[in-house]
Amino acid sequence: MRTKTVVRIGALVAAASVVAGLTGCSAQSSGSGSSDAAKGTYTFWDPYPQYDASSDWGKLIAQCGKDAGVTVKRTGYDTSDLTNKALLAGQQGKSPDVLLVDNPVVSTLAQAGILTDTATSGLETGDIAQNILGAGVVDGKTYGVPIGANTLALYYNPKVLQAAGVDPSSVKDWDSLTAALAKVKAAGKKGITFSGINTEEGSFQFLPWFWGADADLTKLDSAKAEEALKLWKGWIDEGYAPNSVIQNTQTTSWQEFQSGDFAFGENGTWQKDAAKQMGAGVITIPAKDGGAAPVPTGGEFFTIPVQQDDARYATTKKIVECLSSGDNVVKTDNTLNYVAASKDLQQQQLSGNADLKTWVEAVGAARARTGDDLGVKYPVISEQLWTAVQKAESGSASPSDALQSAQQAVDEKLQK
């Protein structure tokens, strides 16, 4: 979940409700087919405006279109803008042929009737890891395929840890991590930085601790959820984490870690190259009682919107298969910093870059935020979760009270 592709998906619920009834009036398959479908121009929207036609990504898209016998006209939008445009285009029956969207958005667009499922499009999902594919599953149907996954881990500064007498391999659970933070503070350095802001980034970064306590997103006020929030609040109170985490984005949190004063920084796959340059190491985020905590999967899905001419799906399928193929994900598309979506491809990545080991382990333990049939319920839950985190971090409410209020708000909103 790179900062540039973060979606404030709580805002999408209202937008989705506007178009949720559009299944009957959005672009419908004519069933008649078209002899012109195998040629001409196909449109593709993605959330990567930073890449132009001369980039590796731009060149790959052009080549995949050429291999399919068509020209691909690609437009890159900022993520939130892309989602809004996709909803509007679906309402007007003017959807692009291919749409690459942040994975939590898939359920919103699917519920709005904008996307085809894989049974209709013909996309195959057989070797994709189920925990990554789960973000695209809605009511038993799969909508699209992931380009890969990014997620979170703990970067560490070996110089700071060495000065404090801490071996990073000793950090195996919450108790050992907190003990390490205490040693770091005693040595005159700073403990840990993370993003606890009141947006989806805050929920994204809190989820490893929430899930690491074995808490459930359908029960925000559980004792296990309270343990996770007490952990973060305790770090702030003890001075192990700075007060700035309350407003930190993932970018500003990373900038704090790059200062060289912090022992640990929670951040994502997208910072691995910068971390290597500064000599930082990385470990998986520990669960409360040990082992790798479940972390949320970030990353985008290739989806195929509903078209008036269903004969276009065959060529669209070829384009998506090319863009998501193993060789292209592993070899060509390294600029996106994704871990591949299948175990075989992950092993190929590891054989070429042993530094990915921790990230492959983290992705293996990851969960889809909209998984477990949460779908469009997730944005409602997430907004209340980050609100509870904010209240506890700032001291305006105890972790228990903040989470009870959050669950009450979720119940009220989902009953409407």
pLDDT of residue 335: 61
pLDDT of residue 352: 85
Our count of domains for the chain comes to: 2
Examine the pLDDT at 4 and tell me if it is beyond 70.
no
Model confidence band, residue 80 (pLDDT cutoffs 50, 70, 90): confident
pLDDT digits (tens, 9 = 90+) for 250-264: 999 999 999 999 999
Report yes or no on 341 lying in a domain: yes
Model confidence band, residue 21 (pLDDT cutoffs 50, 70, 90): very low
Report yes or no on 371 lying in a domain: no
Examine the pLDDT at 12 and tell me if it is beyond 70.
no
The CATH number for 336's domain is 3.40.190.10
Residues 82, 193 share a domain: no
Residues 337, 254 share a domain: no
Residues 118, 28 share a domain: yes
Radius of gyration for the chain, computed over Cα atoms and rounded to the nearest angstrom: 22
Examine the pLDDT at 66 and tell me if it is beyond 70.
yes
Amino acid at 302: F
Q: And the tokens for 1?
A: 């979940």
Residues 266, 137 share a domain: no
Residues 225, 106 share a domain: no
Report yes or no on 370 lying in a domain: no
Residues 194, 94 share a domain: no
Please state, in angstroms and rounded to a whole number, the distance separating the CA atoms of residues 27 and 31.
Answer: 12
Residues 18, 121 share a domain: yes
Residues 316, 173 share a domain: no
Report yes or no on 396 lying in a domain: yes
pLDDT of residue 161: 98
Model confidence band, residue 11 (pLDDT cutoffs 50, 70, 90): very low
pTM: 0.87
pLDDT digits (tens, 9 = 90+) for 195-207: 999 999 999 999 9
Residues 313, 239 share a domain: no
Model confidence band, residue 27 (pLDDT cutoffs 50, 70, 90): very low
Examine the pLDDT at 106 and tell me if it is beyond 70.
yes
pLDDT of residue 13: 39
Residues 346, 202 share a domain: no
Q: And the tokens for 403?
A: 């989470």
pLDDT of residue 189: 96
Report yes or no on 354 lying in a domain: yes
Report yes or no on 27 lying in a domain: yes
Residues 192, 141 share a domain: no
Contacts of 66 (CB under 8 A, 6+ apart): none
pLDDT digits (tens, 9 = 90+) for 345-361: 899 889 888 989 999 99
Examine the pLDDT at 401 and tell me if it is beyond 90.
yes
Residues 318, 245 share a domain: no
pLDDT of residue 136: 95
Domain extent for 276: 152-295+376-414
Examine the pLDDT at 10 and tell me if it is beyond 60.
no
CB of 312 closer than 8 Å to CB of 34:
yes
pLDDT of residue 396: 97
Report yes or no on 369 lying in a domain: no
